[in-house]
Amino acid sequence: MLTLKKTPGRDFILLNLSDPQLGDEEWAPDHPHRRILEGTVRELVRRVSPDLITVSGDLAWAGNDLAYDALADFLDGFGIPWAPMWGNHDNQGGAEYMESVVKRYLTHPLCLYERGPADLGNGNYVIRIEENGVPVSGVIVMDSHDRAPYVNGKGEESLEWAKLWPAQITWYREQVRALKEEGCSDTALFMHIPIYAYREAHAAAEKAGVDPKSVTPAMADGDEVWNPGYESSFGVRHEGICSYPADEGMFAAILEEGSTKILIAGHDHVNNTVIRHRGVTFVYSLKAGAGCYWDPALNGGTVLRITEGGVAGVCHEYVDPAPFTE
């Protein structure tokens, strides 16, 4: 496990960036997408002064070495620890390619990363946030891979978005139990591709008859678009929930262990809902920058506030990209 120290009497601020996903050519000096990403992240760091920056997957496109290195160099420039995790576009290069990126990333002193058990994919690891030697929260990072085969009820085979593997769920249980033994029953789980239960949470929260695509962030701040009991939800869902089509069993494990209070996913660039469902907060992180596809109105980062009692709040910090394109 990796450890970061929280200063007593002061909140620990975690800034998550999702899906920056620029290609080599978009990192060219003065490319508008580079300017937007750099401008956005600089603004976020200025605004929230994070203690840790996490990047919830799709850092670039597999094979774009220059882009991976440019992003690492850029993040180093803030002098703040940063922790990467891999998305489907990163994993597309396979374990060997991921390892070549990891080897370079681990030469960056500010990069927090552990490979984790080799049979669980690329990068399953935990960061303990510790105050006075005791963990107050655990940041659990899990590799959600790329694609996985699926067979539907009619016996038709297809390749779908991947899921967490059974052995990863076992590993997850071991991690939260180890933290519990240290007196910490608060964890945040980060992954790129949302787990299946995101579908359950959204189905429970979204009011029937409201087209999610018609909901704006301002409307989502109100109660009108949410079912009773879900009025604290916010954020929009402008596309489908691209998880594996069947339940991988992760949410059942989360509920049984009773440690993880918040889930953070990326992957779906124009979804940024935050929904509290069955005692767990399901978060789609705000996307950072114009890489791949985006909505300029949904640009920025997502911030977790961690106190001595664990994760105490989550919010989106929207950044208007217009000034960076002029």
Maximum C-alpha span of the chain: 57
Q: Helices marked H in 185-249 — which ranges?
A: 197-205, 217-221
DSSP state of 123: -
Alpha helices in the chain (DSSP H): 32-48, 65-76, 88-91, 94-105, 166-181, 197-205, 217-221, 250-257, 322-325
Strand blocks (E) in the chain: 2-5, 12-17, 52-56, 82-85, 125-131, 134-141, 147-151, 157-161, 187-190, 260-265, 274-277, 280-284, 300-307, 310-318
287 lines the binding site for Fe ion (CB under 5 A): no
Minimum CB separation of residue 148 from Fe ion in Å reads 14
Stretch that binds Fe ion, among 35-43, 140-148, 265-273, 297-305 (CB under 5 A): 265-273
Nearest approach, Cβ of 310 to Fe ion (angstroms)? 28
Which residue is nearest to Fe ion, using beta carbons? 267
Taking CB under 5 A as the criterion, the residue among 54, 64, 88, 272 binding Fe ion is: 88
Nearest residue (CB) to Fe ion, 81 versus 87: 87
Contact (Cβ atoms closer than 8 angstroms) between residue 267 and residue 58: yes
One symbol per residue from 26 to 45: x for binding Fe ion (CB under 5 A), - otherwise; what is it? --------------------
Q: What is the dihedral of CA 189, 249, 193, 237, to 10 degrees?
A: -90
- Tell me if 58 contacts Fe ion by CB under 5 A: yes
267 contributes a contact to Fe ion by CB under 5 A: yes
Helix (H/G/I), strand (E/B), else coil: 140: strand
Contact segment (CB under 5 A) with Fe ion among 4-12, 52-60, 121-129, 136-144 equals 52-60
The amino acid at residue 89 is: H
Stretch that binds Fe ion, among 24-32, 53-61, 179-187, 293-301 (CB under 5 A): 53-61
Q: How near is the Cβ of 58 to Fe ion at its closest, in Å?
A: 4
Kindly state the smallest distance separating residue 243's Cβ from Fe ion, in Å: 11
Residue 87 within binding range of Fe ion, rule CB under 5 A? yes
The site that binds Fe ion (CB under 5 A) totals a number of residues, namely 4
User: Taking contact as CB under 5 A, which single stretch among the options 77-85, 107-115, 213-221, 263-271 is the one that binds Fe ion?
Assistant: 263-271
Interface residues toward Fe ion, by CB under 5 A: 58, 87-88, 267
